[in-house]
Every structure is written in structure tokens, then in C-alpha cells.
Amino acid sequence: MRLVLIKWRDITSWSGWHDELLKEERDEPEVFYTVGFLARKTKDKVTICDSNPGIGNVTVFPIGCIDSIEYLSVDLPPEVRKYKAPK
């Protein structure tokens, strides 16, 4: 599995009255970054986990939330590099 950095956006909300946020154009989704091992990528979703070998602590991102996926270069030990995620 490859190590990736995912840049993604999430919903932002404020309670109460906040006209100034719209006037100042601050009504934007929050941007986040998450690192993990790429377990699966389909046309609808990207699934990462925090463990390799093995699949532990899984996070699934809807494709529409993802701004970018960067493949990270890491010198992993041979026993980790040869591991293949289950399909």
C-alpha cells in the first residue's frame, strides 16, 4: 500500500446570526489534511488506513470532498513494501 496525503474539505457551520461572514466572503468549507495508507480508490470513494501490513483504523472519503491526493515517498522496510491489501 502507498502512503498518501489527502487534502479534503468538510462542512462548516455557525449557529446564530452571521451576516458579516457572508459580506466578508468567509463562508468557505474547512480544509483538512490526512495521511494514511491507500487501501482502495474507486470512482466514488478513497479508503485509507493507519496500518501496513494489515488494515487498521479505516477512513473513507467521498470523492467529492477530496481536493488532492499526493503520493508520499517513504523508505518502508521490505516486509511492509511487499504486503498487498485485500481486495
3-state DSSP assignment of residue 74: coil
Write out the residue range of the structural domain in which residue 14 sits. 3-81
What total of structural domains would you count in the chain? 1
Residue range 53-70: mean pLDDT, rounded? 94
* 41 φ/ψ sector (left φ>0, alpha ψ -120 to 50, else beta): beta
pLDDT band at 57 (very low <50, low <70, confident <90, very high): very high
User: What is the Cα 27 distance to its own chain's centre?
Assistant: 22
pLDDT band at 1 (very low <50, low <70, confident <90, very high): confident
Q: Is residue 87 a part of any domain in this protein?
A: no
List the alpha helices (DSSP H) in the chain: 19-23, 78-81
Model confidence pLDDT, tens digit, residues 4-15: 999 999 998 888
Q: Is residue 86 a part of any domain in this protein?
A: no
Q: Is residue 68 a part of any domain in this protein?
A: yes
Residue range 51-72: mean pLDDT, rounded? 93
Residue range 46-52: mean pLDDT, rounded? 94
Backbone angles phi, psi at 3, to 5 degrees: -85, 130
